[in-house]
A and B are shown apart, each in its own frame.
Chain A
């Protein structure tokens, strides 16, 4: 596709429920990233995929958070037993490869998650 696509764009869920957020990266991009942006704050790194492997998952805040990627394409971020502090915009991004620091990383519009 033309850009990084994320779904749903908005999600309201009850505390304790599980949610899945989906990311379709730009075609041909082997590197994929998830970030979180809480209201009025900066971007927190969550996880980085190179192909289907995740060499860096250091930013996942707890074991309630997990992510997978298949076919070197689509990625899903899953949050189990959601808490109110999980409310944030979850941003997905992709780039041609993770091996060249000069490659531009392109961001999706984000999935706005509200936990009530």
Chain B
């Protein structure tokens, strides 16, 4: 069945550091891929998405590229801020129409 594997956390970085959170998936067909973010005390929000191979999703300085050849959708940001501290979830949505999530990665950015 479909599944998502993402890098375990916590990830602790200093402000302005480069961020990568790895995400790989297993799926039949051509799923859409998503990154959701959950800030402390808040609900789950869509951060970015990509619906087909080689698409790049981007938002708030974050980027992720849909790589079919490596079945990956790694999240990157060039310079993180304290306000980026949150839990990040990689997810896919395929023919079953439901979102399948990874386990989440806690990011802590220190000033």
Contacts and interface: CB of A to CB of B under 8 A. Distances in A.
Q: For the complex, would chain A's binding face be called helix, strand, loop or mixed by DSSP majority?
A: strand
Contact of B44 (A31, A50, A107): A107
Nearest to B49: A104
Given A107-B43, A107-B44, A45 B98 contact: yes
A65 interface: no
Contacts, number: 57
Interface string B70-111: 000000000000000000010001111111111110000000
Interface in A89-113: 91, 93, 98-99, 101-102, 104-110
Interface in A15-47: 31, 33, 35, 41-43, 45
Interface of B: 31-32, 34, 36, 42-46, 49, 51, 89, 93-104
Shortest 7 CB-CB contacts between residues of A and residues of B: A98-B97, A102-B51, A107-B44, A109-B43, A42-B103, A101-B32, A43-B101
28 contacts: A41-B103, A42-B101, A42-B102, A42-B104, A43-B44, A43-B89, A43-B99, A43-B101, A45-B99, A48-B97, A50-B97, A55-B97, A56-B97, A91-B44, A99-B97, A101-B31, A101-B93, A101-B94, A101-B97, A102-B93, A104-B34, A104-B46, A104-B49, A105-B34, A105-B46, A107-B45, A109-B42, A109-B43
